[in-house]
Amino acid sequence: MNAAGEAIRVEDGSLRVPPQPLIPYIEGDGIGPEISRAARAVLDAAVEQAYGNTRRIRWVEIYAGEKAQKLMGELLPRETLEAIREFKVALKGPLATPVGSGHRSLNVALRQELDLYACVRPIRYLPGVPSPLKDPQDVDFVIFRENTEDVYAGIEWERGSPEARKFRELLKDHFGVEIRPDAGVGVKPISEFGTKRLVRKAIAYALSHGRKRVTLMHKGNIMKYTEGAFCRWGYEVAREEFPEQTITEEELFSRHGGKIPEGKVLVNDRIADIMFQHVITPPREFDVIATPNLNGDYLSDACAAQVGGVGMAPGANLGDEVGVFEPTHGTAPDIAGKNVANPTALILSGALLLDHLGWTEAARLVHEALARTFQQKRVTGDLARLLGGTEGLSTDAFAEAVVENVQTLSETEEA
Ligand code: NAI
């Protein structure tokens, strides 16, 4: 196959993926270059194994973070944002947030600039991975965390600042609300627009991926007009936009005898605090969880611990047209450059990207090859420590083991 790569396009809201899509990647800082190399090798092997020479990813390096600063004199060049907008997806390594005041997190900047409003984090157990749970194989759900509102909006003022003082006076003079003079203050906006587009995406995902439930996680019993409204608007989306495809918990029992009918999705809600118990006992109650930002932030890291920790946790940041796929963890400066980092979270983020493109056979091969590699106890140091009794592999050696397993799996074989 000699044809040059082509850009992915969006037509009528759907991705049109050519056989050789141009896919930009950002290596990232710290362990980024090591895990990026490993991930691309595994993804290329999976695509080749699944589709022979009929499909191939054409990787295009784009720059952000320290490498961009060195090569182009700025941390997040305009060209990088333009490339992601043009090519519709990107595979991104972690980026360090420069220390010192006045610097926005590059990751937050990227999400805001591209309006990537849904942070999608699958929490899925792969056999062979050490887990603190008794039945970790039951863990298989996807968190849709709102990415642009709630405390993520970053509207807050330091105690004693003129803004905090003014805000306090405004509350007192106009609303009769008193807060202590030595308080810092923050604002928690949650809008109907922001909520509905997130929940719409979560329900559409559940329907297209054969998931049976979408659970709205909120703290609406206390914060009625933000978290409570999130829940109400979530139900509204289900009722108004997916009337034939969704049912409520009340309908589940009154009309369907407690069994979710084929082709339908149950939309229910749970209070945020009890969710932390339910995702452990029993985790099989969940498929897709849609939630405002802060709840999702806490829940996704807590759940990552159930399936092997942050080195194993992938993510996608999705907008209406564009998706940036990245691991949950950071640049791990303590182990950078030592060839010991676990590349699994970035590899799994790449599998999410493949799934997003509709290249589901290749995505499945990645999961199966990883599971097989873990069952062979071929793991990097972070997991070796948890397993005990095995030496950890280097990042490169682990990637080679996964590639080897990809190459010995046929498309239909189960791991
Ligand atoms: P971190 O996730 O980089 O590291 C936390 C701990 O987990 C460290 O002990 C590290 O060695 C370990 N770890 C992380 N990823 C690992 C992997 N793949 N394999 C093995 N061990 C791994 O979090 P930290 O130290 O809070 O942040 C470091 C930098 O990363 C900061 O500049 C932060 O702003 C940035 N960061 C970037 C993110 C992103 O790009 N999305 C997300 C989180 C942090």
Residue pLDDT, tens place only, 134-149:
888 888 999 999 999 9
Residue 342: what pLDDT?
95
- pTM, rounded to two decimals: 0.92
Name the 3-class secondary structure at 145.
strand
Cα(341) to centroid of ligand 1, in Å? Answer: 10
Kindly give the number of the ligand 1 atom that is closest to the alpha carbon of 329: 2
Split at pLDDT 50, 70, 90, the class of 413 is low
Residue 99: what pLDDT?
66
Name the 3-class secondary structure at 328.
coil
Kindly give the number of the ligand 1 atom that is closest to the alpha carbon of 345: 18
Q: What is the pLDDT of residues 152-165, one digit of tens each?
A: 777 899 999 999 99
Q: What is the pLDDT of residues 16-41, one digit of tens each?
A: 999 999 999 999 999 999 999 999 99
Q: Which of 103, 310, 349, 383 to mutate to test the pocket of ligand 1 (most atoms within 8 A of CB)?
A: 310
Q: What is the pLDDT of residues 309-343, one digit of tens each?
A: 878 899 999 999 999 999 989 999 999 999 999 99
Q: Which of 329, 340, 342, 383 to mutate to test the pocket of ligand 1 (most atoms within 8 A of CB)?
A: 329
Kindly give the number of the ligand 1 atom that is closest to the alpha carbon of 327: 41
Cβ-proximal residues to 134 (8 Å cutoff; 6+ apart), any chain: none
**Ligand 1: which residues within 6 Å by Cβ?**
31, 94-97, 107, 310-311, 326, 329-335, 341-342, 345, 382
Cα(330) to centroid of ligand 1, in Å? Answer: 3
Order across the sheet with 314-318: list the strands: 58-61, 22-26, 89-92, 323-327, 314-318, 118-124, 140-146, 288-291, 213-218, 265-271, 246-248
**To which H or E segment does residue 356 belong?**
helix 344-356
Q: How far apart are CA 236 and CA 229, in angstroms?
A: 10
Hey, what are 262's tokens? 């084929």
**To which H or E segment does residue 371 belong?**
helix 360-375
Residue 414: what pLDDT?
46
Q: What is the pLDDT of residues 245-267, one digit of tens each?
A: 999 999 999 999 999 999 999 99
Residue 153: what pLDDT?
77
Burial class (CB in 10 A: 0-12, 13-18, 19+), 112: middle
Report the percent of the chain where pLDDT is more than 70: 96
Is 2's pLDDT higher than 50?
Answer: no
